[in-house]
Amino acid sequence: MTLVNNKRSAGAAHPLLPAELQQHYREQGYWEDLNLAHFVEHWASTHPERAAVVGALELTYGQLWDRARRIAGRLLADGVEPGKAVLAVLPNSWQGVVMELAASIGGWVFVPRAPTVVPALVERLLEQFDVRGVVLMGDKLEHEEWRTLWRKHLRVPGRIAMLQGEFEHAESPDIPVLEAVSVNGPIASPVAVGGGDPCLVLSTGGTTGSPKSIVHCSNALVYATRKMAEALDFTERDVFVSIAPYGHAGGSLFDIYLPLMHGASVLPVGRWRAPDAAEQIARWQGTVLKTMGTHVYDLLGVEGAVDRLASLRIVTSGAAGAELFLRAERSLKLPIIRNYGCGEVPGHALGRLTEPSEYRLSHDGIPFAGMEGKLLDPQTAQEVPQGTPGSYRCRGPNLFLGYAGQPEVTAAVVDAEGFYDTGDTMVLDSTGYLTWSGRTKDIIRRGGLQIDPLELERLLSRHPSVDSVVVVAEPHPRLGETATAVAVPRAGSAAPSLDELCRFLIEQGLPKQELPERLVLLDELPRTDVGKYHRAEIRRRIADSAKHADQTAPPASR
């Protein structure tokens, strides 16, 4: 399929931005027509012995460059042509770093996904992108649904499959293994690609429907990383602590691009466990940590955290209240700044340590140079006065190319001038700081992940035991919010359980982290005078429930 824009020249046009604005970005140096491979090749040639990756495996820039070229060489030799899509299901790891660099060397459209992805979604991605190369964690083959996917869709003619790590169920001894290929594969030279060509596909929880694939070009990624580095005073002396999921803007953009573009080191910590992360930060002297509020909450409970985290010179965070960050800054002695961004326009506002704590930790940041934003009254579409909440629209050199295969969804959120409707309500003050104040639609913010309740409702309504259902947010001390399904059982059917509904949602392709975490059963759902579900009343009822601690509360008549 056509992803968004398959032109293969340095001057490839952006499909969503006015031509004169694109020219302005080039004149200002915001678009450089460089990719990740360019930067790593530079550091590998000028400082080959400098540490690029630390942690489970230490790699110098020379070693990282060599391993990535060998993986790229093997896939190119096996027939994965430049410009085609390569999908990788990998953890936050040195293997993930090497694979993303290999994709840049090979000139592929890279589709990274975290281990939490479900087989149904992988199958959808394979078809959507006409994927030609696949890298899969070997231990996935311990599960029948992954073995079925492997046989029917991954290990098939026209698609080159590679495994990562140890495995016992691949049913063929000749399958290439990423770790081995990175040492003994043929060496490839970087493929020339344009800065405007599609190169990275990030995932989103789907705030306007089913999960979407966000397509980016190198120009956008390099710009976002440059501006993030400037705001953080990031240098080659830093050790960036990587904790974000692979495939999201954190895990596959900033956690990789920020250190590798600047000749610094990256420390992939693997699956998030706060005590383990603190131990690794202490061992490797991590200096920069990009978090969500959930991570900060967890670090507050780590024994000896002040000493273990002493090397951190700056922590960025978001998706939590100022009280949490103030407590963490005082208790953990951590310098914290807030940041704002989204997968479609990544990382585009960041706070400054020069501001007083109370102000800095209650405001989300100053937009990067080159970013434009406007706050609109949702009723009149007119700009609101400074200091007044408004619907936030923005555009900049980091704007995505569109949602793959969903032109109508892209058109619904990006106007003719290239302004993206974030769906967020923001306030802009006289100092230039943006502050998030809510969503213009019902969205559940779970530990930084945005969950669309309407999508959950659409899927749950298909269950044979559900007559009607509403999904609402409930406050949570660690995650911020969690999803609660409030349902009316279908007459004549057994009342569904939470486990039953979650299994059903997984079968529909929903990621596990977006599942509802509580189920409340009612005889009927309250409605407004015009017949719509009364979400505020539903929230009040479940908050007042005497059985709030129960995972499943039965209807009053049962």
Closest CA to 254 of 282, 279, 234, 237: 234
Residue 392 is predicted with a pLDDT of 96
Least confident of 105-109, 233-237, 440-444: 440-444
Query: What is the radius of gyration, based on Cα positions, of the chain?
Result: 24
The whole-chain average pLDDT of the chain stands at: 90
Model confidence over 448-497: pLDDT tens digits? 787 888 789 889 988 999 988 999 989 888 888 899 999 999 888 999 99
- 299 pLDDT exceeds 80? yes
- CB neighbour list of residue 447: distance below 8 Å, 6 or more residues apart: 292, 293, 294, 319, 478, 479, 480
Residue 327 is predicted with a pLDDT of 94
Residue 208 is predicted with a pLDDT of 42
Beta carbons of 6 and 13 less than 8 angstroms apart? no
Percent of the chain with pLDDT over 90: 75
- 9 pLDDT exceeds 60? no
Least confident of 30-34, 320-324, 544-548: 544-548
Beta carbons of 132 and 84 less than 8 angstroms apart? yes
Amino acid at 483: A
Residue 498: CB atoms within 10 A of its CB come to: 18
Pairing type for strands 160-164 and 133-137 reads parallel
Element of type H or E holding 499: helix 498-507
How large is the average pLDDT for residues 10-15? 76
Amino acid at 194: G
How large is the average pLDDT for residues 326-351? 95
- 501 pLDDT exceeds 50? yes
Q: Highest-confidence range of 7-21, 197-211, 219-233, 377-391, by mean pLDDT?
A: 219-233
How large is the average pLDDT for residues 92-112? 98
How large is the average pLDDT for residues 38-67? 99
- 4 pLDDT exceeds 70? no
Residue 94 is predicted with a pLDDT of 98
Task: Give the three-state DSSP class for 219.
Answer: helix
Task: Give the three-state DSSP class for 259.
Answer: helix
Structural domains in the chain, sorted by start: 36-192 (3.40.50.12780), 444-553 (3.30.300.30)
Task: Give the three-state DSSP class for 459.
Answer: helix
Residue 3 is predicted with a pLDDT of 42
Token pair 């694979």 in the structure block, residue: 99
Residue 240: CB atoms within 10 A of its CB come to: 25
Closest CA to 519 of 477, 478, 476, 551: 551
- 558 pLDDT exceeds 60? no
Beta carbons of 424 and 319 less than 8 angstroms apart? no
Residue 84 is predicted with a pLDDT of 98
Q: What are phi and psi of 92, to 5 degrees?
A: -70, 105
Residue 531 is predicted with a pLDDT of 56
